[in-house]
Chains A and B, each alone.
Chain A
Amino acid sequence: MFVASMTTLFKSGAISWERAPDRLLVKGLLIGLFSFMTVHGTWIWMASR
């Protein structure tokens, strides 16, 4: 769902590498989601030990 909507936004031109704020947005989202997933992954690993 997340990936599909991001792809659609890129294809439609709503998010574009041409615009500096959009580059910031995508970087922020990727870093945020990566941290989020890492926290959850570590948590599941700790809880299942």
Chain B
Amino acid sequence: MLDIIVVILYLFGIVFIGTVAGKFSTTTSDFFFGGQRFTWWLVGMSCVATLVGSYSFIQYSEVGYSHGMPSLGPYTNEWFVLPIFLGAWLPIFYYNRLESVPEYFEKRFSWGVRQVVIGFLLLYLIGYVGVNLLTIGVALKGIMANDPQLASALGFEALKSLPFYSETVDYQIIVPAILVAVLSAIYLHSGGQTSVIITDLVQGFLLLFVGLGVVGLGIHSLGGFEPFFSGLPDGHKFPFAHFNDPPKFHFVGDFWNDAAVGSFAFYIINQGILMRFLSARSVTDGRKAMVFVALFMMPLAAISVGGAGWVGKALETHGYVTVGDPKEAFITVAKFVTLPGVYGMVVAAVVAALMSTLDTLITAICAVVVNDIIRPRVPGQSDEYYLKIAKQAAVVVTVFGLCLIPVFNQFASIYQALSHFTSILIPPLIIVVIFGVFVRKFSATGALWTLILGGVAVQMSVWFPQLITPIAHGVDPSENYSFMRALYGLLSTSIIATIMTFLAPERDMEKLAGLTAYDLDTALFRFKGSDPNFEKSGARVELDVCQSLPEGDGDNIRLPRSALDELALKPGDMIYVTDTRWWWGGLRSVHARVAETEAEGDKVEMTESMFQRGGFYPDLKLAVEKVF
């Protein structure tokens, strides 16, 4: 009973926090990008909750139990994507003020390529929403199967007496999914990305705390690190898997499938993840957030989700528990090491992993619907109009996702067809992005044919697996090369893209300005409206605030001469003004420009509406920082 109270308190706490944070969301920019005001640690921390999916604890603890520490692999592969993401993709999006992945494809290539990518992206994201909702149902059903008292306390037995009860409906999957979806929809409707980032921060902490807590308690109950390590078979202790064996889990497959393709798809093509980094207050903070995520938070999350499997193996060796089915490693270990009430936190962490992934996906779909479908067809409307559509879309997408649960649950072939379709298009999309960013001569015709022929080439390898054999690195073909297909996809599509670059080269170089890695300065100029100011200066100045500027002054603010000198600022430069208390993480902040005239006193002068937008307090100092 105590466990149930903990879970319910947690769920309502999250909705409360999300709804309160939603008060800071008043424009579409706030709804989709959190007003681009958050600091790196807040973006990074919230990102971890998104990246850890609803099934991660069960799936990676299973790998950890069966294969040991190589279970860290899939979560520590992010660094391959760092150069292109940090050096080109993030700045291109941020400085060109692009709002969705398909929008880049239209600007860089053509309207037609954008439409193909919209269709693909919507299928990918909506399918993901349905799968996530289904997996939380399956995960919670698994927990209840281990704990019949919990199921009966939650009222699933009582459901059988209801008049509309049907044996064909799996209530233990459907009911938790509906509950979680409705709760996410409440705070999403209220604040979009702003609410998502703040709730994901809390959920990220919980995930790490619970996962690492289970590992720590497990090692403690074993009697320390020595019995823990001695309880693991030798092969379980190394950080990497075997090079090409067994066919279901090997190093070279993990590299090509997860590092080279999976990470690219997640950070470059997944609209939801990209939007999270675009919510940072500057490109520099977005980059810091990504480095923080890839090199620090994800390795920590990997231990958090997979560590229970290692502990389970050691506990079994020493005779404390019997795991039996590796899929149950996480639940078995969590139940063994926790007391009532604490186990409730474990269940809450599993729910948190779902909610944080789900809310990001729904915000991403809303962004694609508003920015790629509604805005181009109904242009020139007010921001309130698009914000209203975005909020309605959040509810519609959630309901649609719920409708997919019984479909995916009963017709596994539909889900398989969907994931098969996305998996054959992901390698061509990655190559089109890489060529789009680095090869100026790569044209719209080239991009379209690369997507089509690349998809065909990957599909051919499904029909004729022997096509992959020459590059299979000696992997056994019994698993139909499910991992090595990624390398084949990248290679074959690169060849097609190279041929297309020569056959149909881009001629209009002017249209590419600011959209490739070769002229980011153009994008910087476009973002600011004048030359960027990278002159060396102090980090920040703290000043009192006064709301004395008339409303017509837009985003301009006036600073005293001392502050202008300290920060080496010129009129028109972009600045960031924030509450001085760091732990707000940028929630109380605004972007502004330096006005032509200086402030008369020793205060920062702004308009009342900007003061309100920043959520500032009149009697507290503000910190001013130079952007460029």
A contact residues vs B (CB 8 Å cutoff):
1-2, 5-6, 8-9, 12-15, 18-21, 24-25, 28-29, 32-33, 35-36, 40, 43-44, 47-48
A1 touches B80 (CB 8 A): yes
- In the complex, the answer to whether B517 meets A32 with C-beta atoms within 8 Å is no
CA distance A6 to B283 in the complex (A): 18
In contact, B88 and A2 (Cβ under 8 angstroms): no
Q: Which of A15, A29, A44 contacts B239 (CB 8 A)?
A: A44
Q: How far is the CA of A2 from the CA of B81 in the complex (A)?
A: 8
Contact in complex: B518, A14 (CB < 8 Å): yes
Residues in A with CB closer than 8 Å to B164 are none
* Given known contacts A18-B534, A21-B287, A44-B239, A13 and B518 CB-to-CB distance under 8 angstroms: yes
The answer to whether residues A9 and B517 also contact, given A24-B284, A33-B79, A36-B79 and a CB cut-off of 8 A, is yes
Task: Evaluate whether A9 and B284 lie within 8 angstroms (CB atoms) in the complex, with A2-B79, A47-B238 already known.
Answer: no
How close is B393's CB to chain A, nearest CB, in angstroms? 34
A32 touches B295 (CB 8 A): yes
CB distance from B259 to the nearest CB of A (A): 8
Given contacts A1-B80, A18-B534, whether A12 and B517 have CB atoms under 8 Å apart is yes
**Set of chain A residues within 8 Å of B82, measured between Cβ atoms:** 2, 29
1/0 per residue, CB under 8 A from A, across B223-248: the answer is 00000000000100111100000000
Q: Is the CB of B520 within 8 A of A13?
A: yes
Residues of A within 8 A of B517 (CB): 8-9, 12-14
A47 contact set on B, CB distance < 8 A: 234, 237-239
Nearest A residue to B89 by beta-carbon distance?
A: A14
Whole-angstrom distance between the alpha carbons of A18 and B534 in the complex?
9
Establish whether residues B86 and A29, one from each chain, have CB atoms under 8 Å apart when the complex forms.
yes
A18 to B242, CA, bound (A): 43
- CB-CB nearest 7 A-B residue pairs: A14-B517, A9-B87, A32-B295, A5-B83, A12-B517, A47-B237, A21-B284
Beta-carbon contacts under 8 Å, B62-102 to A: 76, 79-80, 82-84, 86-88, 91
* Beta-carbon nearest neighbor of A14 in chain B: B517
By DSSP majority rule, is chain B's interface helix, strand, loop, or mixed?
helix
User: What is the CB-to-nearest-CB distance from B230 to chain A, in angstroms, rounded to a whole number?
Assistant: 13
A-B contacts, 25 listed (Cβ < 8 Å): A2-B79, A2-B82, A6-B87, A8-B438, A9-B83, A9-B87, A12-B438, A13-B517, A13-B521, A14-B91, A19-B534, A20-B534, A20-B536, A21-B287, A28-B287, A28-B291, A32-B79, A32-B294, A36-B76, A36-B299, A44-B238, A44-B240, A47-B234, A47-B237, A48-B238
Asked if B588 CB lies within 8 Å of chain A CBs, one says no
* C-alpha spacing A25/B282, complex, angstroms: 13
Q: Which of B87, B283, B517 has the most CB of A within 10 A?
A: B87
Contact check, B79 vs A40: say whether CB atoms are below 8 A apart. no
**Interface extent on B, as a size class?**
35 or more
Question: Which residues of chain B are near A32, meaning CB under 8 Å?
Answer: 79, 291, 294-296
Chain B residues 285 to 329 lying within 8 A of chain A, measured CB to CB, are: 287-288, 291, 294-296, 299
Tell me the complex Cα distance, A13–B438, Å: 11
Residues of B within 8 A of A19 (CB): 534
Alpha-carbon gap, A32 to B238, bound state (A): 21
Contact of A9 among B84, B234, B240, B534 (CB under 8 A): B84
> In the complex, what residues of A have CB within 8 A of residue B294's CB?
32
Q: How far is the CA of A14 from the CA of B82 in the complex (A)?
A: 14
Summarize A's interface: helix, strand, loop or mixed: helix
Pick from A14, A21, A24, A33: contact of B295, CB below 8 A: A33
Residue of B nearest to A46 (CB): B237
Does B260 have its Cβ within 8 Å of any Cβ on chain A? yes
Chain B residues contacting A13 (CB-CB under 8 Å) are 517-521
For B80, B83, B294, B299, which residue has the most chain A Cβ atoms within 10 angstroms? B83
Residues of A within 8 A of B516 (CB): 12
Asked whether A29 and B534 contact (CB < 8 A) given A2-B80, A12-B518, the answer is: no
Most buried by B among A12, A20, A36, A44: A12
Least Cβ–Cβ distance between B238 and chain A, in angstroms: 5
CB distance from B233 to the nearest CB of A (A): 11
**Which chain A residues border B87 with CB–CB below 8 Å?**
5-6, 9, 14-15, 25
- Report the Cα distance A26→B534, complex, angstroms: 17
CB atoms of B284 and A35 under 8 A apart: no
Distance of B163 from chain A, by nearest CB (Å): 59
Instruction: Tell me how far the C-beta of A31 lies from the nearest C-beta in chain B, rounded to whole angstroms.
Output: 9
CA distance A26 to B416 in the complex (A): 41
Residues of chain A with a CB closer than 8 A to B296's CB: 32
Report the Cα distance A15→B89, complex, angstroms.
12
Complexed CA–CA distance, A47 and B68 (Å): 12
Chain A residue with Cβ nearest B87: A9
Excluding A32-B296, A44-B239, 20 further A-B contacts by CB distance (< 8 Å) are: A5-B83, A6-B83, A9-B83, A12-B438, A12-B516, A13-B520, A14-B88, A14-B520, A18-B534, A20-B534, A20-B536, A21-B287, A28-B288, A28-B291, A29-B83, A29-B86, A32-B294, A35-B295, A36-B79, A43-B239
- Is B534 touching A25 in the complex (CB atoms < 8 A)? no
* A40, B239: Cβ atoms closer than 8 Å: yes
Output the least CB separation between B265 and chain A (Å).
16
Minimal beta-carbon separation of A22 from chain B (angstroms): 8
A residues in contact with B521, CB < 8 Å: 13
Contact with A along B256-300 (1 / 0, CB 8 A): 000010000000000000000000001110011001001110010
A40 to B76 Cα, complex, angstroms: 11
Contacts of B237 in A (CB 8 A): 47
Name the A residues within 8 Å of B239 (CB-CB). 40, 43-44, 47
* Contact B88–A9 (Cβ < 8 Å): yes
> Roughly how many angstroms separate A35 CA and B91 CA in the complex, as a whole number?
26
- Among A2, A8, A14, the most chain B Cβ lie within 10 Å of the Cβ of A14
- Chain A, residue nearest B519 (CB): A13
Tell me which residues across on chain A come within 8 A of B260, comparing CB atoms: 1
**A25 to B86 alpha-carbon distance, docked (Å):** 8
